């Protein structure tokens, strides 16, 4: 599997990217102007496209070939980004839940008490209030 950082590495100049994506270089410029793709730039201001950019351009081509206009494509890509973000958040919550569940199991297995902290770890005032 290709690492995300490798997929985002700028590799292709506009002519090569256009050929790989099956579009005219002017189309890439128009897509950039509309915010559909954002190639990186060299110090000399040359557009450089990554493999992730090429994949995105291929998706744009598929959607437009199905009759979806560029405004619709932009909306679909925006929704896909939101879905990806939500999935990332959900995965982070799952990991957190599993960590907490493991910790609770360790606490339950390690003592006969249901307390989450030892009484000796409490500040003196709280110990006095609970005695």
Q: Average pLDDT of 10-29?
A: 95
119: in domain: no
116: in domain: no
40: in domain: yes
Q: Domain limits at 49? A: 4-110
Reduced 3-state DSSP string for 87-103 = HHHHHHHHHHHHHHHHH
What are the structure tokens assigned to 123, written together?
Answer: 């500040």
Of 47, 46, 77, 82, nearest in space to 61 by CA: 77
97: in domain: yes
85-113: pLDDT as tens digits: 999 999 999 999 888 888 888 776 766 55
Query: How many structural domains are present in the chain?
Result: 1
CATH code where residue 106 lies = 1.10.1660.10
10: in domain: yes
pTM passes above 0.75: no
């Amino acid at each position: 599997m290709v690492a995300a950082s490798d997929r985002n590495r700028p590799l292709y100049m506009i002519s090569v990217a256009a050929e790989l994506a099956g579009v005219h270089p002017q189309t890439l410029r128009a897509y950039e102007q509309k915010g559909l793709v954002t190639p990186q730039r060299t110090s000399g201001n040359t557009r450089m496209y990554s493999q992730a950019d090429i994949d995105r351009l291929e998706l744009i081509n598929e959607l437009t070939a199905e009759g979806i206009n560029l405004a619709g494509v932009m909306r679909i890509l925006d929704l896909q980004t939101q879905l990806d973000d939500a999935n990332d958040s959900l995965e982070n919550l799952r990991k957190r839940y599993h960590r907490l569940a493991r910790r609770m199991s360790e606490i339950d297995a390690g003592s006969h008490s249901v307390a989450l902290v030892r009484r000796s770890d409490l500040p003196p005032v709280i110990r006095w209030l609970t005695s």
